[in-house]
Amino acid sequence: MVRVDNKERLLKLMQILKEETDEENELTLDDIIDKFQNIYGSELKLNKNSLKDDMEHLIESHFDITINQEKDGLPKYYSHQYRLFELYELRMLIDAVVSARFITKEETKGLIRKIKQLTSVHQAKHLQNEILIDSSVKSESHLVRLAIHELHQSISDRKIVTFQYGRYDMNKQFQLSHDGELYRVKPLALTWANDFYYLLAYFYKENEIRHYRIDRLRNVQITEESFPFEVFDVNKYVQSTFHMFAGSEEWIKIRFKNHLINPIIDKFGKQVEIRKEDDTHFVVTTKARISDGLISWILNWGSQAEVLSPSTLVIQVKKEINKMNEIYQ
């Protein structure tokens, strides 16, 4: 005869309730015994009173068990209904994982499987991924997850980090920048922007804050050198940086057509300074990093946006427009 000791029986009962039951799927004691026998074999004999005692122990230990009995004389139904995540929250997590370019296709599938384990097997069927995992935009580097862990640790411990950095060449081969020279930085924060993970860090060699795509880092090492804590406003930095291009921060003014109010609020937030100019235009005043990314963003709006200041930015935009015009002559 197959036997299961009390501790193992209690843990297995909790597992069965977590995996097999939810708001719409309940089990009777007979159903639960069948589940045990499917696992341990048909020779396993279970006492219903022992299972009831196990239920009470789990409830006393604050494990959620809902007991449902519609009428006296009918069997009781048991289910575990409380979940740390709602189904729609798990859906958002899966969609975010699928959309993240810095996660490889294999890691994406693995994370989805783990997320589905946060609910019952029945509800997990409703989490079948409907977003195509596009291999062409997924990272090929399995080093990303290790780099993320190392960088989080270095930020927490306030330790200086070194790494190599690189990019793909015209032959689609990854090449290290500056002949593989080590970058020595003070890590400040990690941020997810434009579908990529970035490290925001103080680059000692140039005495300035820069950002680095984590999927382009190689040989990340945490040193024994410490640095003092300092406040760093990640949101302010990212908001002023267009398409993650570095540059000097200046006050800018841009005139837009009125129908662009929502895209502008999406970009800068509701707190941005907006002044109505006339019946068809408004002017935005904000700080931004003057860069190629900013110029490309402005030109994206064509004739519906006009830079008013600073004059240096006006000149740069005009130069880019002239270059574009020459191409199509």
Residue 241: pLDDT band with limits 50, 70, 90: confident
Least confident of 5-14, 46-55, 141-150, 209-218: 141-150
Q: Can you give the pLDDT at residue 131?
A: 52
Q: Can you give the pLDDT at residue 136?
A: 53
Residue 196: pLDDT band with limits 50, 70, 90: confident
pLDDT mean over 148-164: 92
Rounded CA gap, 93 and 89, in Å? Answer: 6
Tell me: pLDDT of 187 over 90. Answer: yes
- Contact criterion met (CB below 8 Å) for 198 and 207: no
CB atoms inside a 10 Å sphere around CB 142: 11
The residue that leads in pLDDT, 326 or 99, is 326
pLDDT digits (tens, 9 = 90+) for 25-40: 999 999 999 999 999 9
Tell me: pLDDT of 132 over 60. Answer: no
Q: Can you give the pLDDT at residue 242?
A: 58
Rounded CA gap, 152 and 200, in Å? Answer: 12
Q: Can you give the pLDDT at residue 130?
A: 52
Residue 1: pLDDT band with limits 50, 70, 90: low
> pLDDT exceeding 70 applies to what percent of the chain?
93
pLDDT digits (tens, 9 = 90+) for 204-231: 999 988 889 888 899 999 999 999 988 8
Q: Can you give the pLDDT at residue 191?
A: 85
Strand partners, 223: none
The residue that leads in pLDDT, 2 or 283, is 283
Rounded CA gap, 109 and 106, in Å? Answer: 5
Rounded CA gap, 208 and 263, in Å? Answer: 30
pTM of the shown model: 0.61
pLDDT digits (tens, 9 = 90+) for 43-93: 998 989 999 999 999 999 999 999 998 767 788 999 999 988 988 899 888
Over the chain, what is the mean pLDDT? 87
